[in-house]
A and B are shown apart, each in its own frame.
Chain A
Amino acid sequence: MRLLIRFFFVRLFDFELTAESRSGSASLSGIVAGTAGIFLTVGAWLLRVFTYRYNALRETRSEELFQAAALTDHTFLLAAMMWIVGMVAVLTGPSLFPDETDFRVMTPMPVKRRVIFGAKLAALGLFAGLFFAFALVSSLPLFLMSSIGRLASPSWAVQLPAFLAASLLAVLFAALGVAAVHALILLAVPRERLLPISAALGSTMLCALVMALPFVGRIPSIKEALDNGATWLYFFPPAWFLGVERWLGGDARFASLASIGAGALLLAAAIAAAAYVALYRDFSRVMTRPASDQGLRLGDASVAHVRPSRRPAFTAVRAFTSATLARSVLHQGVFIAVFAIGAAVVTSRLFDLDFSPATLSTRLRSADTLIGAPFALSFMAILAARASLVLPIEIRANWIFRFTEDPKHRGAELDAAISSVVRLGVVLPAVLLLPFQWAVLGPASLVTSFVAALCAWVLAEALLIEWRRIPFTCSYTIGTAFIPQIVLLGLLLYVGYSTVGSALALGSIRRSPVFGVTVCIILSAIALGIRRHRRWCAGVEPLQFEDVLPTESSPLRLTVD
């Protein structure tokens, strides 16, 4: 049993991000150490913020202000813990229940089904508990900061057990909520559709969680909302568990919120438990149910309806890229996670905008924000698409691309890769943001969107100038770059890109049309120039199928020569 628990526990840390998996224990200890480091760093930074905040509040000597701030901050802490555990549950989504691999590997062994399920549950409990513990340890000093002192009510001795209980219930709800959604999919969806639907669902939840991140730090005043009877509290899960905390602390005003939290937790637990029981009783039937012919119709590409093409190699690589992004959990997840960061930044900005007919100054402020938005989104979208295309899929199947490599077709194959980045990183952000821009700028939004798209095209071409890979076919080595250096370069690039791009887009509508046309011509010329250079290189340089380590090491120079 302990062996199985360990096996399932270690496997939960294997996100299959590497081309060649490291040993389980190395991966495990690395991730645990990294996670603990992140929690402690963020916790220490927040402690500094909280210290300033509550020292200032204590100086006001106002109980009302202090307690209102504490209410909001406790909601923030609960939301942060729920976010962390929810994110972990989403990332490990496919492993939340014993799957087909477990069935095929474990069932023939002399191990009782009860032991398999018990070990899986225990491993999941340990896993979620580990992250909960990290989050709780990081947040306890923050909680105490907002609960100790004569301005706090009730006393910290009453609040602490209530907070611990509410935190536990909140993270249980987050984990069980994700598990319940996966359970419903697992039991209801035909086997051949399970993977794409599960992938799409995981990506959607991941996207929603990443996009929710900026709002965790922007929770409005709970006291005000409670006094005004705001309805949003009843649709905001962290508020439910704040209700639990306060109700346990003796405040009857929060009883209705607490009861919603309890009900939601019970519902999620019931669905997850029912799914576990159903799976336990019918493990063989669920795992071996036949795949029907009608199950997966993937459109024209799945049957032999190949259209005539002047560049078949381009069509081949483009279709391969689209199919992989649509069906691979890992690649879709990486794209969505990185893209969602950009989307979160933009959504957070849009949240503050006033789209109603307003004064000229309001409109101009909105216009500036909206003109800058496509640059933030396209920057992250291009990085997201590139990151996704770099990761391999079934690396040993790439022999077919090596076997059929032809210098005449190389340019077309690389063009297909770039076109995927352009579609996801240039066209998608432009299309997503055009309605918002139209609402404020009207027809001028067409000009700014076009200029923003051209800037994004230049960025995509520039970032891929040395691209020699067919997507997903090259091995991937983690840790070839110095992360702080990459982050710094990325930030500088982002600042330069968004500043220059926004200025060009703004200039295109505020200056003469000649300026706009000139900008468009210059940007197109730059993009086409880079593309031409890449195509020339493709004619003479072979495709890359093995990731290469940096050729030069950077000496630390710790001694004086």
Chain B
Amino acid sequence: MLQATDLTKRYGGLVALNRASFEVRPGEIVGYLGPNGSGKSTTVNLVVGLLEPTGGSLTLDGISIIGDPVAYKSRIGYVPEEPFLYTHLTAAEYLTLVGQLRGMSGGVLNARISGLLDLLQLHDSRYKTMRAFSKGMRQRVLLAAALLHNPRLLVLDEPFSGLDVNAGLLFRTLLRMLADEGRMVLFSTHRFDMVEQLCSRVVMLSKGCVVAAEELAAVGPRGSGALEALFLRATGQPDYTPIARQILEAISA
């Protein structure tokens, strides 16, 4: 289980995340929702160990990120929001690099890379450097890299942006199957529809604080707009209708 307790991150005087507590249990897909600047990316960076927390604790299956960061991180697969990759490498070269950095080599790594390239429909592009890849293709390479070492927890930051319809369907099905196998999935997103379709639980964030953590079933029927209503209420978002009207007026003037 991933357990975040009073997780805090300060940048000088700025508090990016303030005593956030949440958990992801085995077999769960947890959606992490919040407006821009609410601390979503900070949380994700803390969870995957790219940032050090100022306060609080983070444990994965009882292993603390402070006590044993290597063991902690070896159980995590991460797909960042922007596909930051070494685009002068081919997909196979990138996956080889990631696998070897994780201590894998030889037959096991070969088999996993070939299998993932095939299943993620990247096999035909195996000789091309990733410079020519679309955003969706790069996301698929990142997913392959995140799955390469068979992680316990998969952390995804806006995983569906830039994906085509087929890849999106594949991603969703894969996430469900990973959860069915008892793995944990934490994904940060702006999309209510994705959260409703996939998640069993949702954590909402506003101004660096967790403002809601609910079972999806308790929020209301899927597609009823209950999740959106909860989000607007919990995060204190204004009614955007007048602003939209003003924009229309501005461009028509």
Which of A's residues lie within 8 Å of B, judged by CB?
Answer: 191-192, 195, 291, 293-298, 301-309, 312-313, 315-316, 319-320, 323-324, 327-328, 393-394, 396-397, 399-404, 406-409
Contact assessment for B132 and A291 in the assembled complex, using a CB-CB cutoff below 8 Å: yes
Contact assessment for A192 and B128 in the assembled complex, using a CB-CB cutoff below 8 Å: yes
Contact assessment for B70 and A302 in the assembled complex, using a CB-CB cutoff below 8 Å: no
CA–CA, A397 and B98, complex, Å: 12
Give the secondary structure class of A's interface.
Answer: helix
Contact assessment for B105 and A304 in the assembled complex, using a CB-CB cutoff below 8 Å: no
Q: Return chain A residues, CB-CB under 8 Å to B100.
A: 306, 309, 312-313, 315-316, 319
Which one of B86, B97, B113, B128 lies within 8 Å of A393 (CB-CB)? B86
Closest residue on chain A to residue B90 by CB atoms: A302
Contact assessment for A407 and B70 in the assembled complex, using a CB-CB cutoff below 8 Å: yes
Known: A302-B92, A304-B95. A400 touches B101 (CB 8 A): yes
Contacts A320-B97, A406-B70 aside, 17 further interface pairs with beta carbons under 8 A come to A192-B132, A293-B128, A297-B127, A298-B90, A301-B93, A301-B96, A304-B92, A304-B117, A309-B105, A312-B101, A312-B104, A316-B100, A316-B101, A328-B88, A393-B88, A397-B85, A404-B98
Contact assessment for B103 and A313 in the assembled complex, using a CB-CB cutoff below 8 Å: yes
Contact assessment for B105 and A403 in the assembled complex, using a CB-CB cutoff below 8 Å: no
Q: Return chain B residues, CB-CB under 8 Å to A393.
A: 86, 88
Shortest beta-carbon contacts, A-B, top 6:
A316-B100, A308-B106, A312-B100, A304-B113, A404-B101, A312-B105
Known: A324-B88, A394-B87. A307 touches B105 (CB 8 A): yes
The digit string for B178-215, where 1 denotes a CB below 8 A from any CB of A, is 00000000000000000000000000000000000000
Q: Return chain A residues, CB-CB under 8 Å to B216.
A: none
Contact assessment for B50 and A399 in the assembled complex, using a CB-CB cutoff below 8 Å: yes
The digit string for B41-52, where 1 denotes a CB below 8 A from any CB of A, is 000000011100
Contact assessment for B129 and A403 in the assembled complex, using a CB-CB cutoff below 8 Å: no
B120 at interface by CB-CB < 8 Å: no
28 CB contacts below 8 A, A to B, read A195-B129, A291-B128, A295-B127, A296-B127, A297-B127, A303-B92, A303-B126, A304-B95, A306-B110, A308-B105, A308-B106, A309-B100, A309-B105, A309-B106, A313-B100, A316-B96, A316-B97, A316-B99, A393-B86, A394-B84, A394-B85, A397-B84, A400-B97, A400-B98, A400-B145, A404-B98, A404-B102, A407-B70
Q: Return chain B residues, CB-CB under 8 Å to A403.
A: 48-50, 73, 78
B167 at interface by CB-CB < 8 Å: no
A310 → chain B closest CB, angstroms:
8
B107 at interface by CB-CB < 8 Å: yes
Contact assessment for B124 and A293 in the assembled complex, using a CB-CB cutoff below 8 Å: yes
A152 → chain B closest CB, angstroms:
55
Contact assessment for B73 and A404 in the assembled complex, using a CB-CB cutoff below 8 Å: yes
Closest residue on chain A to residue B82 by CB atoms: A396
Within B108-127, which residues are at the interface with A (CB < 8 Å)?
109-110, 113-114, 117, 124-127
Task: Tell me how many residue pairs across A and B have CB atoms closer than 8 Å.
Answer: 126
Within B41-94, which residues are at the interface with A (CB < 8 Å)?
48-50, 70, 73, 78, 80, 82, 84-90, 92-93
Q: Return chain B residues, CB-CB under 8 Å to A396.
A: 82, 84
Which of B's residues lie within 8 Å of A, judged by CB?
Answer: 48-50, 70, 73, 78, 80, 82, 84-90, 92-93, 95-107, 109-110, 113-114, 117, 124-129, 131-132, 145
CA–CA, A404 and B117, complex, Å: 21
A23 → chain B closest CB, angstroms:
23
CA–CA, A313 and B95, complex, Å: 13
CA–CA, A192 and B126, complex, Å: 13
Contact assessment for A313 and B110 in the assembled complex, using a CB-CB cutoff below 8 Å: no
Q: Return chain B residues, CB-CB under 8 Å to A309.
A: 100, 105-106
CA–CA, A486 and B97, complex, Å: 35
B152 → chain A closest CB, angstroms:
15
Contact assessment for B101 and A313 in the assembled complex, using a CB-CB cutoff below 8 Å: yes
Contact assessment for B103 and A312 in the assembled complex, using a CB-CB cutoff below 8 Å: yes
Contact assessment for A195 and B131 in the assembled complex, using a CB-CB cutoff below 8 Å: yes
CA–CA, A296 and B113, complex, Å: 19
B76 → chain A closest CB, angstroms:
8
B105 → chain A closest CB, angstroms:
4
CA–CA, A403 and B79, complex, Å: 11
Q: Return chain B residues, CB-CB under 8 Å to A192.
A: 128-129, 132
Closest residue on chain B to residue A301 by CB atoms: B93
Of listed B48, B70, B86, B106, residue having the most chain A CB within 10 A: B86
Closest residue on chain A to residue B48 by CB atoms: A403
CA–CA, A316 and B131, complex, Å: 20
Closest residue on chain B to residue A404 by CB atoms: B101
Closest residue on chain A to residue B96 by CB atoms: A306
CA–CA, A14 and B96, complex, Å: 33
CA–CA, A197 and B174, complex, Å: 40
Of listed A195, A302, A306, residue having the most chain B CB within 10 A: A306
Closest residue on chain B to residue A328 by CB atoms: B88
Of listed A294, A296, A312, residue having the most chain B CB within 10 A: A312
Known: A195-B131, A315-B100. A323 touches B105 (CB 8 A): no
CA–CA, A81 and B107, complex, Å: 57
Q: Return chain A residues, CB-CB under 8 Å to B125.
A: 293
